[in-house]
């Protein structure tokens, strides 16, 4: 009995927490409020957000317009977005037009299909359109913190297997021809062998390759699935996590594909400022320059001095002791396994 009661209480608390719409305060954790969540508005904008939420959050918590995911999302995406709210000028604010069902564009009414005023008369929301207009008339200036990114709001996801293949081919200056014999005039009409040792990876539901007709090396598709890729022909969902099999496949792929890029003639993707005859002794400046430019190419931002040095001392130099080819393959592969490369 007691257990049931506390379970129900727990559920009620959980529901309350959900209706708070995201985390809005650093309220201390209490028995009634174990997550430290708090439904009290922290500002005028927050009051409006919480008051509109019952009418809007059903569709705007996630997706490409997640205005109601948090106060920051509300302020960044809606309140201080000139397209929707013109400070001091409710008449020209699309938000008001949306509530009145007269906005230009394909969605004149928010919520779609139900006049906002009806929600007010039915008591689903208590905030009237006149109150929203008042708020816009007296809207506080853009808070300074909106200018800076908020770490907690930052979210990344892993690259999908498709994205990995496409971006890696592009970054490494490789094409399909580097893996399969597309120059053979008959290549579309009969199975051909993807040369062993090239570590070809290809989605099972992309052409060429559908149903193994063209890609006779079934490992190409198996590796793709290990990398987390799906296969619509087999009703196989993509894996959105980044588990050990994806990591292991990426390690092998990065080494094999970087090797192909280094060995490919006239391919400046990896060896842009150096040749394999340049060493840290004979041409130290070129080695440094190439290392930094490769970092920028693969990760989209220049390395800090500390990162460039770590890459040079821990990856490049030990491998260069064997040969420069291995050293550049190693640097290239290390960058592909970098968290910044894997995530988006």
Contact in structure between 261 and 269 (CB atoms under 8 Å): yes
DSSP, res 244? H
Comparison of 89 and 313: residue with beta carbon closer to ligand HEC: 89
Reference 155, options 225, 227, 70; nearest CA is 70
Shortest CB 85 distance to ligand HEC, Å: 9
Shortest CB 44 distance to ligand HEC, Å: 16
Contact in structure between 125 and 99 (CB atoms under 8 Å): no
The phi, psi pair for 81, rounded to 5°, reads -105, 105
Shortest CB 157 distance to ligand HEC, Å: 19
Comparison of 120 and 168: residue with beta carbon closer to ligand HEC: 120
Shortest CB 155 distance to ligand HEC, Å: 18
Q: Which residue in the shown chain puts its C-beta closest to ligand HEC? A: 56
Shortest CB 59 distance to ligand HEC, Å: 3
The total number of residues written for the chain in this structure: 344
Nearest 10 degrees: CA dihedral of 315, 318, 324, 329? -30
Comparison of 111 and 173: residue with beta carbon closer to ligand HEC: 111
Residues forming contacts to ligand HEC in the complex (CB under 6 A) are 52, 55-56, 58-60, 63-65, 78, 84, 98, 105, 107, 110-112, 116
- Separation of alpha carbons 111 and 102, rounded Å: 12
Comparison of 107 and 344: residue with beta carbon closer to ligand HEC: 107
Comparison of 56 and 271: residue with beta carbon closer to ligand HEC: 56
Please list the residues that pair with 33 across neighbouring strands: 30
């Amino acid at each position: 009995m007691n257990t049931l009661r506390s379970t129900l209480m727990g559920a009620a608390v959980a529901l309350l927490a959900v209706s708070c719409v995201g985390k809005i305060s650093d309220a201390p954790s209490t028995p009634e409020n174990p997550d430290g969540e708090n439904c009290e508005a922290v500002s005028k904008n927050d009051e409006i957000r919480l008051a509109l939420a019952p009418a809007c959050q059903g569709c705007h918590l996630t997706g490409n317009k997640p205005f109601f995911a948090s106060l920051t999302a509300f302020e960044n995406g809606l309140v201080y977005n000139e397209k929707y709210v013109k400070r001091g000028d409710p008449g020209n604010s699309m938000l008001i037009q949306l509530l009145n069902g007269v906005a230009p564009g394909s969605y004149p009414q928010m919520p779609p299909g139900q006049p906002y005023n009806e929600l007010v008369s039915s008591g689903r929301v208590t905030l009237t359109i006149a109150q929203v207009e008042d708020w816009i008339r007296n809207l506080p200036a853009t808070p300074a913190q909106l200018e800076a990114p908020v770490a907690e709001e930052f979210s990344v996801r892993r690259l999908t297997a498709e994205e990995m293949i496409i971006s890696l081919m592009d970054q490494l200056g490789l094409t399909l021809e580097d893996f399969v014999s597309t120059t053979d005039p008959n290549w579309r009409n009969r199975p051909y062998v993807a040369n062993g040792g090239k570590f070809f990876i290809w989605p099972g539901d992309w052409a060429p390759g559908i149903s193994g007709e063209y890609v006779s090396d079934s490992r190409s598709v198996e590796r793709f699935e290990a990398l987390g890729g799906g296969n619509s022909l087999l009703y196989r969902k993509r894996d959105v996590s980044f588990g050990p099999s994806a990591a292991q496949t990426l390690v092998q792929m990065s080494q094999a594909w970087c090797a192909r890029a280094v060995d490919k003639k006239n391919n400046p993707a990896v060896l842009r400022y150096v040749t394999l005859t340049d060493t840290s002794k004979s041409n130290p400046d070129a080695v440094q320059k190439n290392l930094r430019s490769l970092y920028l190419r693969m990760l989209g931002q220049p390395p800090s001095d500390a990162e460039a040095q770590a890459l040079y001392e821990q990856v490049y130099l030990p491998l260069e002791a064997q040969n420069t080819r291995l050293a550049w393959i190693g640097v290239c592969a290390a960058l592909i396994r970098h968290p910044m490369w894997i995530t988006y």
